[in-house]
């Protein structure tokens, strides 16, 4: 099958993934997303541009690298922090800190960091490079597994995602596309023949609330879901359950009713309870996490919500 070996921005490739579609999979995570969900657990996925990440625990101190990261920064954004006790008890060391107001993400400091405490969140790659990496995992694709193209929003880098899907289709592996649904309908029409299953997010049914929570309205998202359903796509609907934000009964019932309206295209509905595991990623990027007062929903609430969705005749499970 003809394809173009175009270049794309990605920020991770994860093998042995069990939450990104059926079975055991390998997931390619693209950078860039038109949404900015308040609960996003992968903030490094939001910007298309590469960013500077910093893991202080990996910094051995400027005494070891002889101020390499400090000296190479053209903006003076890498600063020497206050002395602190080394984790191994060997004495006092001085790590660095980042002045995010000055940092332009030129990533020169990441290039000289010996331990990758300073790192680039994302890298350039080509369709062929990704294919060569992920196809090595074919032997691990058990229980209907395969390859998932995710994000960010993979459709925001359509040329890369489209050509990668075409390249993978010839290999015979099962292909999922994890999407927010926010892209031009004609792009979904074009990529549809190469996707076996769409992992499709329905974040909120009210467009005003959706815009408040994600930065955009939901009209295009809902209409694209209907388009895919009408054109024989297979959909796995994913519903985030965020306390105080998306967990009202009215919204959840409207979501279930919408899933029912999509008919046999919906193979599964997954309820995704809010979790805190992405919070530390915000610190690494120098971002502020906005849901500090939100706790995960309790098991009893999630079980009742599961039973409600199943009451509509939907094949539903907790993620």
Domains of the chain: 7-49+123-318 (3.20.20.70), 52-120 (3.30.70.20)
pLDDT given for residue 1 in this prediction: 82
Of the candidates 150, 155, 157, the residue with the CA atom closest to the CA atom of residue 176:
150
pLDDT given for residue 92 in this prediction: 87
Q: Residue 171 corresponds to which tokens in the numbers above?
A: 């290999």
pLDDT given for residue 319 in this prediction: 87
Backbone angles phi and psi of 117, in degrees to 5: -65, -40
- 81: alpha, beta or left? (left if phi > 0; alpha if psi -120 to 50): beta
Max Cα distance, the chain (Å): 66
Q: How many helices (H) and strands (E) does the chain have?
A: 11, 15
Residues of the chain scoring pLDDT < 50: none
Element (H, E) at 13: strand 7-17
CA 152 to chain centre: 5
Kindly report the pTM of this predicted structure: 0.95
Spatial contact of 266 and 318, defined as CB atoms under 8 Å apart: no
pLDDT given for residue 317 in this prediction: 97
pLDDT given for residue 302 in this prediction: 98
pLDDT given for residue 217 in this prediction: 98
């Amino acid at each position: 099958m003809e394809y173009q070996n175009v270049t794309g921005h990605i920020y991770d490739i994860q093998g042995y993934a069990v939450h990104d579609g059926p079975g055991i999979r390998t997931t390619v995570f693209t950078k860039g997303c038109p949404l900015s969900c308040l609960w996003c657990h992968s903030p490094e996925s939001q910007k298309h541009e590469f960013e500077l990440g910093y893991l202080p625990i990996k910094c051995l101190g400027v005494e070891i690298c002889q101020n390499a990261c400090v000296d190479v920064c053209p903006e003076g954004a890498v600063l020497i922090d206050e002395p602190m006790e080394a984790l191994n008890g060997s004495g006092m060391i001085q790590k660095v800190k980042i002045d995010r107001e000055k940092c332009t993400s030129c990533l020169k400091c990441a290039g000289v960091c010996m331990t990758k405490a300073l790192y680039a969140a994302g890298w350039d790659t080509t369709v062929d490079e990704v294919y060569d990496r992920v196809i090595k995992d074919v032997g691990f694709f058990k229980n209907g597994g395969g390859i998932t193209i995710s994000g960010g929003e993979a459709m925001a880098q359509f040329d890369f995602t489209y050509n990668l899907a075409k390249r993978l289709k010839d290999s015979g592996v099962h292909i999922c596309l994890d999407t927010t649904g926010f892209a031009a309908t004609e792009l979904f029409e074009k990529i549809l023949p190469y996707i076996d299953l769409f992992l499709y997010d329905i974040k909120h049914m009210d467009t005003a609330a959706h815009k408040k929570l994600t930065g955009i309205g939901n009209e295009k998202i809902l209409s694209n879901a209907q388009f895919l359903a009408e054109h024989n796509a297979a959909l796995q609907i994913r519903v985030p359950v965020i306390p105080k934000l998306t967990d009202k009964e009215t919204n959840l019932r409207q979501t279930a009713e919408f899933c029912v309206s999509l008919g046999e295209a919906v193979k599964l509905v997954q309820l995704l309870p809010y979790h805190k595991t992405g919070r530390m990623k915000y610190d690494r990027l120098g971002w502020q996490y906005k849901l500090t007062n939100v706790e995960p929903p309790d098991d009893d609430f999630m079980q009742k919500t599961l039973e409600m969705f199943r009451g509509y005749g939907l094949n539903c499970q907790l993620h």
